[in-house]
Structure 1
Amino acid sequence: MSLLDFVFYGFIAVVVIQVIYFIGFFWKFTFLKPERTVPKSMDISVIICAKNEAENLKKFLPSVLSQKYPNFEVVLINDASTDDTLEVIETFAAEHSNIKIVDVKNIEAFWGNKKYPLTLGIKASKYDYLLFTDADCKPLSKYWIQEMSNCFVNEKSIVLGYSGYSKIKNSFLNKLIRYETVVTAVQYLSFAKTGIPYMGVGRNLAYTKEAFFKANGFINHIKVRSGDDDLFVNQVATKSNTAICITEDSFTQSTPKTTFNDWIKQKRRHISTAKHYKLSHKILLALLYSTQLLYWVFATILLVTTFKWQIVVALFLLRIILYYTIFGASSKKLDEKDLVLTLPLLEVFLIIIQLTIFINNLISKPNHWK
């Protein structure tokens, strides 16, 4: 068997695996219609951990405090900030009786680890249902709390939401960031929908206090500085206790990085936690990424050499059509319509960046959360 024969049969296998992922997993999320449930009225604690976030709190906290929900508190955690974060929090607390302040001082054993202040905030919260977001994040609707709380039905104790990034005109980096966010969301929401929840995003995540303490909080991965959201979900989420929330009123939106270096540093921290996932999840994700990479590598070799080009073109188009169908529709579902025209270009760029980050993480460890 020649080298081109090997590449050709490898290409066929790669396309088959990709089609299985697209139809077996992603299709269910892409064409899932949001379920309209009867509004719940359980008490909710919204928890926000802030480290040097004075300006972001001024800008985004009002959108949380103005939520249309009967009874909720906002637990604001000042994680040893060196700016005016605590003063800003105290100013808001003077005007809103439903704010609880948790002021955390630096402890050497937990320096740079978000899980310690989050644990203190969770312990200080007075309600059994917890909803998490970030200081630089805003709900896109006044009914965010309502929509997320509605999903605590049928013994569900974890709710995975979607959080995107705000748009910046004429910025390819911004499109790449938002595309990566859509791809990640399609993956974790699709896997959760098919009964294999493996992560969540702390910018829009809810779970019960009972689930947190039953798992002994973050103790199983407390030494891992990142992963307060995805590693916790990876540990405790199951087919029966996890729900997803994809109504437009449940979305939140964060401020994106504006320089390539800052975004890479952020993604290095995020990707570094994946090695701590359950083995089955690591295998599923590794197979997905490796086949994406090999699809483009094998297709380029075969098309350049015109080796059995008729079959190669047919398989190439089959995968491209499925890809466009799924991620095009998902982009529209998640209000990222402007990404559709550049999807293949964004995919290639993201594959290369993810490979670069993976190699860099093998060489050196990323920094703490802030």
Structure 2
Amino acid sequence: MLIIILYFFIFIVAIQILYYLGVFSKFAFAKAQKITPKRISISVIVCAKNEEENVANFIPLLAEQNYPDFEIVLIDDASSDNTLHLFEGFEKQYPNIRLVRVENNEAFWGNKKYALTLGIKAAKKEYLLFTDADCYPTSKEWITAMSSQFTMQKTIVLGYGKYEKIANSFLNKIIRFETLLTAIQYFSWAKSGHPYMGVGRNLAYKKEEFFNVNGFIEHMQIRSGDDDLFVNQAANAKNTTIAYTPESLTLSKPKTSYKEWIVQKRRHVATANYYKSFDKIQLGLFYFSQLLFLILPIILLAFQFQWIIVVSLIALRYLITWIVIGFSAGKLKEKDVVYWYPIIEIVLIFTQINIFITNIFSKPVHWK
């Protein structure tokens, strides 16, 4: 039995190495991107629901972007706080701000996709750049950096949305590492010709891509997924690219409690159930191999069975993964979380199990 477990462990290590060297290395070792400004008109779209504090701080940062031709489409999704009032003030203050007021609709009650659809239809520009109400760009060249990746063929641009650092917070390191690992995956698969998701905190596409797939209509009944489900449906090897220059990044406020973060991750995991079959298989295989990489060597080492081989395989896998993650973190300005990698990986693996089991028995909470 132990020899079978050993062979299975070797197989699992091989799968992990294949992922990191065969797929994730495509992003980790990619050349630095250059920003070549494009003379295209951009609509920056922000959808908010009860976000008065965030929009008060972050909308002015968007308005101050150094870009010659852009508008900001602010969507108030039937907020019950002061968000709409603030938006109305911004509309008067900045001539390039367009306001879309969304009233509750019985058929689409609380559905962010309905609000976004109205905002997209109201946008006057052909190229759309999305971010969230609790996000802000890391530089005044954000629009320039994201739009520079558009070409005649590349009409979907996947960006990276970072989370702010919180000093002396291990939860913050977990959140930021998980976000980094997710980005490594969707950036790498996009470079491999299999784009499967993007994040609404930093995503751009040409308006025609939205209408080519009839918008969100195929997954309108799913409350989440205005970003990743749309990309999963519309993106392909020919029309999708990535943006990862320092100027192209956005920052968001992270969750500050483990419970709030789990609620957020439950939505993301539930949405992934609607991905294409290949994407669900490759994601499932990756996380399953991570779990077995933890369990199998514990069994083998407990019986001191071929411990030199086992330890060598563990060291080889960690060496390869640390290098790939380290180079990727350098590109995305997240190097500090890499030092905690082995510990955080264990936490994330068991968090995934917890989320998977919880989602079986209860549905996650979606748009506010």
Q: Percent identity?
A: 56
1:19 and 2:14 aligned: no
Pair 1:235-2:203 in alignment: no
Shift of 1:37: 4.5
- Provide the secondary structure at the position in 2 that maps to 1:100: strand
Deviations 1:24-77 (A, max 9, x none): 101110011233253101000000000001110011111111000001000000
Residue equivalent to 1:259: 257
Match of 1:205 among 198, 203, 216: 203
> Whole-Å Cα distance in 2 between the matches of residues 184 and 312 of structure 1?
28
8 Å Cα contact 2:177/2:338 also seen in 1: no
Q: Give 2:104's aligned residue.
A: 106
- Tell me what 1:366 maps to: 364
5+ residue gaps, structure 2, are: none
Residues in 1 aligned to 2:264 and 2:110: alpha-carbon distance in whole angstroms: 14
Q: What does residue 42 of structure 2 align with? A: 44
Instruction: Name the residue aligned to 1:297.
Output: 295
Amino acid at match of 2:201: R
Distance 1:61 1:332 in 2: 28
Contact 1:102–1:121 under 8 Å retained in 2: yes
Paired residue secondary structure (1:256): coil
1:262-292, Cα deviation, whole Å (9 max, x unpaired): 1100110111011100001111111111001
Hey, what does 1:276 align to over in structure 2? 274
Q: Offset at 1:355?
A: 1.0
Query: Which letter does structure 2 place at the counterpart of 1:55?
Result: E
8 Å Cα contact 1:46-1:74 kept in structure 2: yes
Residue 77 of structure 2: aligned partner: 79
What are the ranges of 5 or more consecutive residues in structure 1 without an aligned counterpart?
none
The C-alpha deviation readout for 1:118-140, integer Å capped at 9, x for no partner, is 00000000010000000110000
- Aligned 8 A contact 2:245 2:331 in 1: no
CA distance in 2, matches of 1:9, 1:369: 46
State the one-letter code of the partner of 2:66: K
Deviations 1:137-167 (A, max 9, x none): 0000100000111111141110000011000
Q: Distance in 1 between matches of 2:32 and 2:359?
A: 37
Q: Which amino acid aligns with 2:324?
A: I
* Per-residue CA distance 1:233-257 (angstroms, 9 max, x = gap): 0001000000100100000010000
Residue 191 of structure 1 corresponds to which residue in structure 2?
189
Q: TM-score, normalised by structure 1?
A: 0.98
Give structure 1 regions of 4+ aligned residues with deviation exceeding 4 angstroms: none
Q: Which residue of 1 aligns with 2:329?
A: 331
* Mapped partners of 2:340, 2:294: distance in 1: 16
1:340 and 1:34 map into 2 onto residues whose CA distance is: 20
Partner of residue 129 from structure 1, selected from 127, 134, 143: 127
Q: Write the deviation string for residues 309-328 of structure 1: whole angstroms up to 9, x where unpaired.
A: 11111111110101110112
Note if 1:55 corresponds to 2:59.
no
